[in-house]
């Protein structure tokens, strides 16, 4: 579970970083990439983080 948490976190922040780069350079599809990154963050990484913290208690 911990390894998948780290992989999900890497993928999430990688997508957000690529989206930020696209925003700064004004390349096409920048909004879509940032949106996908925030979806991964809100529906994948944050719930996995809180689930992991819940299991530790």
Task: Write down the pLDDT at residue 21.
Answer: 97
Residue by residue, DSSP assigns 6-17 as HHHHHHHHHHHH
Token digits for 13? Answer: 């922040």
- Residue 1 pLDDT more than 80? no
What integer pLDDT is reported at residue 2 of this predicted model? 84
Dist CA 43 CA 36 (whole Å): 10
pTM over 0.75: yes
- Tell me the mean pLDDT in the region 2-18: 94
Whether 19 contacts 55, CB under 8 Å: no
Q: What local confidence, expressed as pLDDT, does residue 8 receive?
A: 94
Q: 13-48: per-residue pLDDT in tens?
A: 999 999 999 999 999 999 999 999 999 999 999 999
Query: Are the C-beta atoms of 12 and 41 separated by less than 8 Å?
Result: yes
């Amino acid at each position: 579970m911990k390894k998948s948490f780290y992989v999900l976190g890497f993928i999430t922040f990688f997508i957000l970083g690529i989206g930020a780069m696209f925003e700064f350079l004004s390349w096409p599809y920048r909004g879509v990439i940032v949106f996908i990154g925030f979806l991964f963050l809100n529906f994948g990484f944050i719930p996995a983080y809180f689930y992991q913290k819940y299991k530790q208690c």
